[in-house]
Amino acid sequence: MKLLVLSLVLFLSSAQAGLVDFASLKPRSNYGAIVDGDGNQADLALSYRSLTGALAPSSNRAEFWNTGYSDLEAVAYPDVDGLVMEITLTPVGFNTVTLNSFYLGSYSGGPVRTASILRVTDGSGVTLWSDEPYKFPGGKAQKIMVNKSGSQLKILLGQDWNLGLNLINYSTSNSLGAVPEPSSVMLALSGAAVLLYRLRRR
């Protein structure tokens, strides 16, 4: 029984790390649409919108650019200059996603540019982290540290489409403080049943 309980605890507290790299969308052309599902990982679903400065929906897409934003191999950026890009991160098979960091780059590496909106919110739009206005110094891509968690997270970047982001470093986990998805519970119970059966046969 102790082994059974330990197995359940290990499952519910498990974590998986990942990286979203928009270079994986190549050979998509510059100005190409980035739409829901692009960049998806086995444990993470991504969706995209471009919003007005008042954060009202404008389009269900971001845009793609190849090399040219600082030293990043590719970036996502708002659909139209002056809009705000929103990237939604939703865990798959887990109940929590943690956004560790991402990189910001500037078209042609400079000059100094300003992101009037640079924030991370939860799924309902409550701000968890922000750095506004963010002054990009030019030159090499800048690593933006976030380290925020939730059942769903949103990255917002605007309103200069000469700033783009890539290399979203994240992790997914089953937090003991949250309610697991039914599929996760069924998987855990199935594993527990197998363990219990084997213990009884001994």
Mean pLDDT over all residues of the chain?
A: 87
Arithmetic mean of pLDDT, 39-46: 97
CB of 178 closer than 8 Å to CB of 100:
no
Higher per-residue confidence, 89 vs 110: 89
pLDDT of 3: 47
- Whether residue 70 lies inside any domain: the answer is yes
- Cα–Cα distance measured from residue 137 to residue 148, given in angstroms and rounded to the nearest whole number: 24
Cβ burial of 9 (10 Å; 0-12, 13-18, 19+) is exposed
Higher per-residue confidence, 110 vs 155: 155
Note the helical H segments in the chain.
Answer: 2-12, 182-201
Q: Is it the case that residue 177 has pLDDT exceeding 80? A: no
- Whether residue 198 lies inside any domain: the answer is no
- Whether residue 52 lies inside any domain: the answer is yes
pLDDT of 178: 47
How many structural domains is the chain composed of? 1
- Whether residue 196 lies inside any domain: the answer is no
- Cα–Cα distance measured from residue 52 to residue 197, given in angstroms and rounded to the nearest whole number: 57
**Which residues have CB under 8 Å from 56's CB, separation 6+?**
none
Percent of the chain past pLDDT 70, that is, above it, reads 80
Question: Rounded to whole angstroms, what are the CA distances from 74 to 6, 58, 107, 137?
Answer: 43, 23, 11, 19
**Which residues have CB under 8 Å from 10's CB, separation 6+?**
none
- Whether residue 68 lies inside any domain: the answer is yes
Domain with 63, as residue range(s), is 16-178
pLDDT of 190: 58
Query: What CATH number is given to the structural domain containing 172?
Result: 2.60.120
Give the three-class secondary structure for 47: strand
- Whether residue 48 lies inside any domain: the answer is yes
**Which residues have CB under 8 Å from 165's CB, separation 6+?**
75, 76, 77, 87, 102, 103, 104, 105, 144, 155, 157
Q: What angle is formed at CA 85 by the lines to CA 168 and CA 19, rounded to 5 degrees?
A: 10
Question: Rounded to whole angstroms, what are the CA distances from 40 to 56, 65, 168, 187?
Answer: 25, 18, 12, 22
- Whether residue 4 lies inside any domain: the answer is no
User: What is the amino acid identity at position 139?
Assistant: G
- Whether residue 82 lies inside any domain: the answer is yes
